[in-house]
Amino acid sequence: MNQHHHFIIYKPQGVISQFTTNQKKGYKKKLLGELYNFPEGTMAIGRLDENSEGLLLLTTEGKVSEQVRSRKVEKEYYIQVDGEITTDAIEQLKIGVEIGIKGEKYTTLPCKAFKLNKAPNFTPSTKKIRDDRHGPTSWVSITVTEGKFRQVRKMSAAVGYATLRLVRVRVGKIKLNNMTAGDVIKVDHLKYD
């Protein structure tokens, strides 16, 4: 019986959620394999785009990957948005908003959303995020059960607030906790439910 391997990582900004890529010569993107010596056959469960960061689960077991990506497992994100988000915008997010997916209109499923009272204490961003001299920002928690391409960013834009920073903090019961960007934790099982 093959022994499967599972990992909980904090994907930093600027790293793509892949192990290989068809890169043009001279064009170098950072890949997950640069964070740790993962065993052959390791795959990311879902993705975080290059500019997003936070909790990413990796496994060599395809069945686990499928289960975690299902709509039964919640994914929670903390996003820093441009401006002081309103209660009305939060309510719109909860109900579902219309976004574009591959050129088609799509209405997101109802989700959980609330404004955070204070900024979370994450590893400082590697990307320059404008500061308060250019107006206020606010932090919002959004918990979804679906994972369309750049969905959370599109949702915040749909209610009038551009996402400046996006950090996934939870997948099911697995939380980012005190991990910092680039951390990799090898675990025996992914206890997400």
- List residues with catalytic annotation: 49
**What are the DSSP calls for 33-94, one per residue?**
GGTS-PPTT-EEES---TT-EEEEEEES-HHHHHHHHSTTS-EEEEEEEES---HHHHHHHH
Structure tokens at 91: 């309510």
The alpha carbon of residue 34 and the mean position of all alpha carbons in its chain are separated, in whole angstroms, by 19
CA distance 55 to 80: 16
* Count of Cβ atoms closer than 10 Å to residue 181 Cβ: 20
The alpha carbon of residue 192 and the mean position of all alpha carbons in its chain are separated, in whole angstroms, by 16
CA distance 174 to 83: 30
CB proximity list for 46: less than 8 A, separation 6 or greater: 17, 56, 57, 68, 69, 75, 147, 171
Question: In terms of Cα–Cα distance, which of 155, 160, 28 is closest to 83?
Answer: 160
